[in-house]
A and B are shown apart, each in its own frame.
Chain A
Amino acid sequence: MPTSHRGTLKKKFKIFLSVFLLTLFPLLLCAEEGEFGLDIFGGETAGVKFEGKIFSKLNSDLHQDSKYEFTEEWITGIYLSFSGDIKSNFSFFSSFLDKYYYFHSSYNDYFNNRFQPFEFYVKKSSDKWDITAGNQIVSWGVSDVSPIDVVNPQEMDEFIFSEEDFAKLPVLMLRGDYYVNDQTTIEGIYVPFYKPSHFVLINSDWSILPREMYYRTVEEYRKEYGVNIEESGTTSYVTDYPKNSPFNGEIGFLLKSYREGYDYQVAIHYGWEKMPFPEFNPDLVEYLKSTDKPMDALNNLSPLEQISFLPMMKFKPHRIFTFGGGISTTFKSVGIRSEGALHTNSSIYNVHLELLHVPSLTWNIGADYNFPHNLYGNILITWVHFFTNAKTYLFKRDNIFTISLLRGSYFHDTLTLEGRFIFALTQYQMILSLKATYQYSDFISFFGSLNIIDAEKDSLLYQFRKNDFLTTGIRYSF
């Protein structure tokens, strides 16, 4: 998250507390008591539970493409959680995550520590209701990559290679689940404050601004003008996030039901873009329009030209309305799931790098199957259509990509081998990920993976095509 959005945590907490006391607390008192605990023998759920995970991994780049590229990235995370019952049908959960990053390149080293309160919430339950208030993660949709799962922002510090437990970021939320009957649930959420996905602007191989481009500019500037623009605090971007106001919140409803061998979900969500695309300076866009090859012109801007267009970009999320649904079932032992969603205001660039906000439709269909010899296979095909006639950049008007997974478990689940392949059919982009996990004991596992990325020019993954890397790591759960 860019630093300008940090702070005001105290203020946010006060506002949240007010919302909580004024709206939620009376509801909690009104909720009926009912016997629905799973604690039959006594002792399974009593007291405060304490759990945790520690993981540490080293990403080694397979080949150094420039002196700016990080060749070793060492990431260590500590996660601790506490949970328990305050009284009957009234529970709490709290957790935090602390991540340490150490990146090395021949140009410079980078160290960062990021501590974040993770999920913390209280939950009141009755026979028909669950009401949950606090920082939390929800999961919407029946599909593996769900277009209606839009409530929580994403962790993008390692692009799609983050630990899957922490791939989503919790948000402050008031959530109610009403159980219409044993098959049908209606869920409503209200998110009072905007929280963007966590992305890195410069200091990572996954950063939005290519490190190479940024530091080359810094060097050229230093050489030409004798000024260190890093130290001078000159920034090439600004953020324009929604102000904290109850009217700037997000609201959503999910209906989920299952009967006769089918699961259904329908969702409506009125929220904000979690991953705002950078909007280029209008003067810069005008300049790029006058050139034949805007992207080349952008990459070749001289330091002086860059200064004249400062701030070069602005991160400003837009309101998005999402409506969609999905269905899943099994047919002759094959799991089948399909999901679709319509989004208003999806961001897409035209060829002049002008940011457009247009409706988009996403639809996917997937199947999975358990093969003999403990082998599991899963394939998902996704189609994304942007309703625009403009000539587009990074995305096409129609985009089709596939995600396939093959996983085998051997030696009584001691060894797990996994292969994942993401391939875009409409623009050449691919990610191949091979992973092996060895469960050394009930608490400790070792893992290693190889990740290969390739993409054609002017595609989304082109910037990351040199980030092929080998990962080795250890994970301890207690």
Chain B
Amino acid sequence: MKRGILVAVFLLLTGGLLWGLTGEEIIHKVDNQPKPKTTIAKMKMILVSKSGSKRVREVVTYIKEDKNMTKTLMKFLSPADIRNTGFLIWDYKNSDKESDQFLYLPALKKTRRISSSQKNQSFLGTDFSYQDMEGVKVNKATHKLLREEKCGNYECYVVESIPKPGTDYQYSKVVEWIRKDIFVPVKAEMYDKKGKKIKRLTVNKLEKIKNYWIMKESVMENLKTHHKTILTIEKIVVDKKIPDAYFTQRYLEKEI
């Protein structure tokens, strides 16, 4: 993955408009928001079906940004049948080198190197795709300010991002609502290749921790199936020193 999963969820890449700013400039402002060097978070993902039935997944995630690499370790806490299942990802920055990904299956006591998933595939069965979690690089799309409007209690910029030709992206366009005061997206709508609106992301709770704006709760809804995923960050620690040893197979296999 090009960026840490969690960081990408917090800071969806979009554009915005300060008075006199273009969509491109606002996008860069959003993208240049400070990011934590390390993040440790306990997340809860609630999958809600159209009929209202719920399934819950809890994950602990460790992310470390190095100069050349983003390292991510994810461990499942629940449900019980996949507890201790782990993902370890080493994502190489500024390189065409493919990321190294490992999956630990506690039932088999086995760690295996896995091939990268299709980016439009569902992320762990949720309504987020791998690409949603990863975001798209700012310079891989053109960004246009559509309008300004109120979103909740805040003034927002509405920016449309269209991937540049040749960019491998699952959506034909993304429209996002970005808070004027802090340059953080609070809502996004995604359109499929036929131009039909298919998903909506809504940020319900934002919190500033140290210098970072963190999406504490967000909802991704599939507008076609009306299935939705509520992603809540229950606990988070940023910029805590995490030894490199955490991002090894030893820790991937460690019970939590």
Residues of A with Cβ closer than 8 Å to B? 36, 38-41, 44-45, 51, 53, 83, 91, 93, 127, 130, 137-139, 142, 144, 164-165, 177, 179, 182-183, 185, 256, 258, 261, 263, 328-330, 332-335, 337, 368-374, 409, 412-414, 439, 441-443, 445, 475, 477-478
Contact = CB atoms under 8 A, between A and B. Distances in A.
B118 A372 contact: yes
Nearest to B53: A441
A328 B116 contact: no
Contact of A413 (B40, B125, B240): B125
Contact of B120 (A137, A333, A372, A445): A372
Contacts of A442: 55-56, 78-80
Contact of B109 (A53, A138, A263): A138
Contacts of A332: 98
Interface of B: 40, 42, 47, 49, 53, 55-56, 60, 62, 75, 77-81, 83, 97-98, 100-101, 107-110, 112-118, 120-122, 124-127, 227, 235, 237, 240, 243-251, 254-256
Contacts of B62: 40
Given A38-B246, A38-B256, A330-B98, A477 B79 contact: yes
Contacts of B75: 38
List the 5 shortest-distance A-B pairs measured between CB atoms, nearest first.
A413-B125, A477-B81, A335-B115, A442-B79, A477-B80
16 contacts: A36-B245, A36-B251, A40-B40, A44-B60, A130-B250, A182-B248, A374-B122, A409-B122, A412-B49, A412-B55, A412-B127, A412-B227, A413-B125, A443-B80, A445-B81, A477-B81
Contact of A333 (B53, B115, B235): B115
A127 B244 CA distance: 12
A40 B251 CA distance: 13
Contacts of A177: 250
A473 B226 CA distance: 30
Contacts of A91: 255
A368 B243 contact: no
Given A370-B116, A478-B80, 13 more contacts: A41-B40, A91-B255, A164-B107, A179-B248, A261-B98, A330-B100, A330-B115, A335-B114, A337-B113, A370-B121, A372-B121, A374-B122, A412-B55
Contacts of B115: 330, 333-335, 368-370
A371 B125 CA distance: 15
Contacts of A179: 245, 248, 250
B129 to A, nearest CB: 10
Contact of A263 (B113, B244, B245, B254): B113
B127 to A, nearest CB: 7
A261 B250 contact: no
Contacts of B118: 370-372
Nearest to A49: B255
Contacts of B127: 412
Contact of A40 (B56, B109, B240): B240
A244 to B, nearest CB: 26
Contacts of B100: 258, 261, 330
Contacts of B108: 139, 164-165
A373 B125 CA distance: 12
Contact of A38 (B60, B120, B235): B60
B254 to A, nearest CB: 6
A170 to B, nearest CB: 10
Nearest to B115: A335
B240 A412 contact: no
